[in-house]
Structure 1
Amino acid sequence: MKNKARTICVVLLIFIALGTVALAGTETQLTQDERLTQRTAIYGNYVFWIESAGNDVHAYDLTTGNRADITGNSAGGKINAYGDKVVWTGDGESVYMYNISTGNKTMIADGRRVADIYGNYIVYTNNYYYNQDQENDGIYLYDLETQNETKIAAVYSFPAIYGNRVVWSQENNSSAYDIYLYNLSTQETGKIATTNRSEPESELEIFGNVVVWTESDNVYMHDIAANKTTPVTSNGNSYQPAIYGNRIVYTIGNPYIGGNKDIYMYEIPAARTTRITNSTFAFNPSVYGDKIVYADCRNNPEFCEARDIYLYDLSNTSNSLVANFTDNVSKGTAPLNVSFSDTSTGTPDTWYWDFGDGEISNEQNPVHTYVSAGNYTACLTVNNANGTDSKLVTISVK
């Protein structure tokens, strides 16, 4: 029994670390026979995507099931949404906006590209040509109320906006790119994080105090308030991060070439990684609340041309099994008595405790004595009809 419990714990922890434990959410296919879908966006009950086969933008209302097809003016690249508005790059060099409530499409700026939107503000950069005069490089802020454009940085980059913060990557003296932030309220600019990238970050996103990006084919997050950068992945094969609330979604598997690719989710407070899809053909994720949308070419895997849009709903996973526990003490001198209290959610049926010193227990709330000095990994594995989950902590004994 001792070896069995330890095996269960170790195997589950490996699964969790690799993001292979799936949630009991609901997946829905929203479209049929879409062609060459590039990017997705979601805000509220509206889902948007760009389809490069027709160079158009499309919108889907999750409430009514109605679809709107918008002439995209040769739309390409990223697409971003806020409220009932969506922005994208059209004609290769112009920023467009569509209001799904009014049905109005507007060209916001010519000679600009890579737009993001929040509230009444749109941010974008200039068009870039390798041999052009760099004096026109810039990050620009457009006010939808005043229709005024303001240059907030003299660099070419890929900006993102949330609240009163605009972020982008900017080259430093070592030819690497750092993350900068502009505060709309104070009109101050400052560096918030360093990276090892050798080119502008094109997959930068921000929500609240957290900025996410890719570096060396891994996803990173930076907490602005804590001034702390944390790697979300370490597999060297992660791309396309998007963030909403405490959830970061991304693709494992290069979305730009062949090979397996799936959507994963990282929950910031629990530092927990979860595999969302297992089709091996999913990419281009975006997230809003409990909803994740993505493209998937499972229906045309040989050429990956029929890239339909799927929705994964997390709202019915509140009863899924999540292992958790507390202890009354995590360090001290031997002999150290530790009381473990199970706080798992999802109604476990069984509990397997591996205290890391060769002893185990099947009690829900055991008390264990560590008799020798050392660092021990205490692991709880819980189980029910919905699956198995594990959590560990370190107990330090002197």
Structure 2
Amino acid sequence: MLSDERRYQLLYLVLYAAGNGIAGYRNIFFEDIGLTESQMGLIGAVLVGAGIVAQPIWGMLADAYGRTKLAMAVGAVVSIVGGLLFPLGMVIESPFVLMIVAAGIYSAFRSPIVPLANSMVLSSGIDYGNVRAFGSVAFGVGILALGPLVETFGTVTIFGVYAVGMVVFVISLRGLPKPSATELSPDLREDSLQLLTNPAFVLLLAVGLLVGASTTTANSFFSVYIRAIEASDTMTGAAWFVRTLAEAAVFIWIVRLGWRHRTQLLVGAIVLALSFVLYVTPGTLPAVFLAQIPQGAGFALFTLASVSLAHEYAPEAMSASAQALLAALGLGTGRVFGQVVGGWIADLVGVQDMYIFVVLGTGLAALLTAGFFHRRIQAYQ
């Protein structure tokens, strides 16, 4: 019989393998059906905005009723419906409105799954890094395999892969331990207020906003960027593969350094900023591949530190809610801003020069992260 840790590792493997195609290739699908970069950015904003609305609600319900597994199963099934609406854009004359609707349905049910899964792992006491590493490997291997499929059968392939993957995900939920319920009470409402007025948690949300804006913009337009430097779609998958291997290595190995989470957050933001410089100068395919290693490492450091800090700051009854708030108010708000502004900038100056603003965003995040070393902030940790 599989241990709980192995079950969670399998869950993350399936979850990230299913979603890699939509995350990595959706904008070239939109390009293929005739949408502009600005329209891509607006669809991306809806993908994130729907999650901002949905995630705190799902997190609070999961904390209150202990039905986290059911919430994830419902989210998976309905997100399949939303995902399968996207291919209809190939057969209608003006697909933009339909893409907006599909994005809203897909995201409102898909986006809460990751923070809910994170809260289950952290609450169980299992090493989050060892579990999350499986997601990174699955994402990288899956997106590498999708490259030739996309070139052979078209970008519509990514939506079929998602549907099959999420069916397997629902099956994988069986056997996971059921989280305990937390009775809704005045104390829970006080815990919510305490969390949102904690300066350290608010600073974490601000850093998440900047990193979310920068990395989501960079990742969403990466497949378009690869075409802009005259490389094939297969190179998109290959680059993602290198990046996610670096992520997985850091998720597993970083615990040996014994760094505090605030140090991981600072180093992660700095490394991310430096990695995106290579997209601008020299901006060649070899440089882009070289950038994937520090980019994967920086993202892993940021992810591990941010979810761990959110868990530490949260009262015991607010575990899922804290992860949902980080995903929605921090990362989510940033992603909405990044998608809209990134699409507008790409239209204005081109997708390659857009990455200058990604460098600036991650650099500013690194400056804010230094605030976690201030005495007043440390007093709340």
Global fold match (TM > 0.5): no
The structure carrying a bigger helix percent of its residues is 2
Q: TM-score, normalised by structure 1?
A: 0.23
Q: TM-score, normalised by structure 2?
A: 0.23
